[in-house]
C-alpha cells in the first residue's frame, strides 16, 4: 500500500515538474521572441518633430514614423504633419534630418516623407495584415510623450474597426499607445509591420486599453501610390460616412448602409446621393460594409462602381460612377 502511495506521489511530482518546465520553456521562448522582434524592427522606427513656425523649437510637437524604404521614404500619420512648416526626422542612432512631405491621404491618415540620409537606412519588414487573428500578440513601438523610443506589448483585440469612414479600417489593440506613438509601428512576434498606430479612444487623453492602427496592407497600397504619383489616384468617390442598418423591403429584411454625412464634393454626391439615403446594393452585391470597402480599394483602377440606393423619400435610384471619373478626382 505504501509502495502504491509512494508511486502515486512520485507520478504526481513528475507531472508537476513537467508542467512547470514546459511553462518555463514556453514562457522563456515567448520572451525571447519578443526580444528578437524588437531587435529586428526598432531601428526602423523614427521620431518626427514638427514645427508650426519657421524657427525650430517653436510650437513643436512630436510623433513617430516608420522607415518604408532604404532610399529615405518614411511613413507616418497625416495628423502629425498637417499644417506644419518644418518637419525633422530623428533616427534610432540619433541622427537628425530635414524631411520633405511627398504626399498625404487625409482620409486614411497616411503621409509619406522623404529624407536624404548619409547612413544606411533599415526599412521595416512588412507582413500581410489580412492574416491577423484576434488574440495575436503584438508590440507597439514609438515615442510616447517624447521620452524616447519605447516598446509596449499586447494583443489584437479586434480587426476591421471603423468610425463609419469607408476609407479607414483599423486594427484594435490593447498595447499601450499614448500621444507621441502616432505614426509608430505595430509589429507581430516576428518583428514585421502589421500596422501604423494612429489613434486611441480615451476620456482622459492617455492610454485606456483602446488603441487603433492602420493595417499594413492599406499602408503599402497608399504609400506606394503616394511615392509614385505624389497623391492618391484611385478609390476616392467623395467624403462620406455611413452606418449599418437593417430595413424591410418587399417583406424581406436586408442589410444596408445609411449615409449619415456627405460633403458636397465628389462623384457620389454629384450623382445624387444625400444624407439618409440607404445603400442597399454595391456592384450587384449586398450593401454591406465589407462590399463597400473592398469596392473602393479597386475603384478607379479600371473599375467602375455602382450603387443601388433606397432614398429617404421611399424611392429607388441607381448611381454609376465611371473609372475615369474617379481617376480625375485625386486626393
The CATH number given to whatever domain includes residue 217 is 2.40.10.10
Give the pLDDT confidence of 56-69 residue by residue, as tens digits: 555 578 999 999 99
The number of distinct structural domains making up the chain is 2
Residue 36 lies in a domain: no
Residue 105 pLDDT greater than 90, yes or no: no
User: What is the rounded distance in angstroms from the CA atom of residue 324 to the CA atom of residue 275?
Assistant: 25
Note whether 133 and 195 are same-domain residues.
yes
At residue 331, the pLDDT reads 52
pLDDT, tens digit (0-9, with 9 covering 90-100), for 231-261: 776 567 888 989 888 888 888 888 899 999 9
| CA pair distance 30, 136, nearest whole angstrom | 12
- Length of the chain equals 331
In this predicted model, which residue has the larger pLDDT, 161 or 21? Answer: 161
Q: Is 30 inside any structural domain?
A: no
134 and 218 both lie in a single domain = yes
Query: Are 194 and 133 within 8 A, CB to CB?
Result: no
| Beta-carbon contacts of residue 146 (< 8 Å; ≥ 6 apart) | 47, 62, 180
Whole domain around residue 277: which residue ranges? 240-328
Q: Is 142 exposed, middle or buried (0-12, 13-18, 19+ CB in 10 A)?
A: buried
pLDDT one-digit tens code per residue, 74-102: 999 999 998 888 899 999 999 999 999 99
> What mean pLDDT is predicted for residues 139-163?
88
Which letter, b or e, does each residue of 144-176 get, where b requires 16 or more Cβ atoms within 10 Å of its Cβ?
Answer: beeeebbbbbbebbebeebebbbbbbbbbbbbb
Amino acid 25: pLDDT: 41
207 lies in some domain: yes
- Is the sign of the CA dihedral 223, 229, 230, 233 positive or negative? negative
124's CB contacts (< 8 A; 6+ apart) are 41, 44, 45, 66, 67, 68, 185, 187, 192, 193
Residue 208 C-alpha cell reads as 485606456
Does 137 share its domain with 209? Answer: yes
Domain containing residue 297: CATH number: 2.30.42.10
DSSP class of residue 36?
A: H
The proportion of the chain whose per-residue pLDDT surpasses 70, expressed as a percent, equals 81
CB neighbour list of residue 98: distance below 8 Å, 6 or more residues apart: 86, 87, 88, 89, 115
Quick one: 244 and 273 in the same domain?
Answer: yes
Mean pLDDT of 18-26: 43
Q: Which amino acids are annotated catalytic? A: 79, 109, 182
pLDDT of amino acid 234: 58
Amino acid at each position: 500500500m505504501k509502495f502504491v502511495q509512494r508511486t502515486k506521489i512520485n507520478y504526481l511530482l513528475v507531472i508537476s515538474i513537467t508542467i512547470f518546465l514546459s511553462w518555463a520553456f514556453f514562457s522563456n521562448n515567448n520572451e525571447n521572441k519578443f526580444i528578437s522582434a524588437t531587435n529586428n524592427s526598432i531601428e526602423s522606427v523614427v521620431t518626427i518633430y514638427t514645427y508650426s513656425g519657421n524657427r525650430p523649437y517653436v510650437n513643436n510637437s512630436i510623433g513617430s514614423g516608420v522607415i518604408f524604404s532604404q532610399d529615405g521614404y518614411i511613413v507616418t500619420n497625416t495628423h502629425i504633419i498637417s499644417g506644419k512648416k518644418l518637419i525633422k526626422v530623428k533616427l534610432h542612432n540619433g541622427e537628425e534630418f530635414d524631411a520633405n512631405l511627398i504626399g498625404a491621404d487625409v482620409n486614411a491618415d497616411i503621409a509619406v516623407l522623404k529624407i536624404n540620409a548619409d547612413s544606411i537606412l533599415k526599412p521595416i519588414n512588412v507582413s500581410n495584415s489580412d492574416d491577423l487573428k484576434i488574440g495575436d500578440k503584438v508590440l507597439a513601438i514609438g515615442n510616447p510623450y517624447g521620452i524616447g523610443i519605447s516598446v509596449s506589448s499586447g494583443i489584437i483585440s479586434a480587426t476591421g474597426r471603423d468610425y463609419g469612414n469607408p476609407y479607414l479600417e483599423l486594427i484594435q489593440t490593447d498595447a499601450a499607445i499614448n500621444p507621441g506613438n502616432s505614426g509608430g509601428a505595430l509589429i507581430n512576434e516576428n518583428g514585421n509591420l502589421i500596422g501604423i498606430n494612429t489613434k486611441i479612444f480615451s476620456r482622459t487623453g492617455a492610454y485606456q486599453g483602446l488603441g487603433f492602427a492602420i493595417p499594413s496592407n492599406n499602408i503599402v497600397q497608399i504609400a506606394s501610390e503616394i511615392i509614385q504619383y505624389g497623391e492618391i489616384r484611385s478609390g476616392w468617390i467623395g467624403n462620406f460616412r455611413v452606418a449599418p442598418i437593417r430595413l424591410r423591403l418587399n417583406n424581406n429584411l436586408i442589410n444596408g448602409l445609411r449615409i449619415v454625412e456627405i460633403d458636397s464634393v465628389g462623384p457620389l454626391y454629384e450623382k445624387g446621393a444625400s444624407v439618409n439615403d440607404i445603400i442597399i446594393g454595391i456592384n450587384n452585391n449586398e450593401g454591406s460594409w465589407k462590399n463597400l470597402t473592398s469596392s473602393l480599394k479597386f475603384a478607379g483602377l479600371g473599375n467602375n462602381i455602382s450603387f443601388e440606393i433606397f432614398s429617404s423619400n421611399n424611392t429607388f435610384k441607381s448611381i454609376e460612377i465611371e473609372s475615369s471619373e474617379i481617376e480625375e478626382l485625386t486626393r
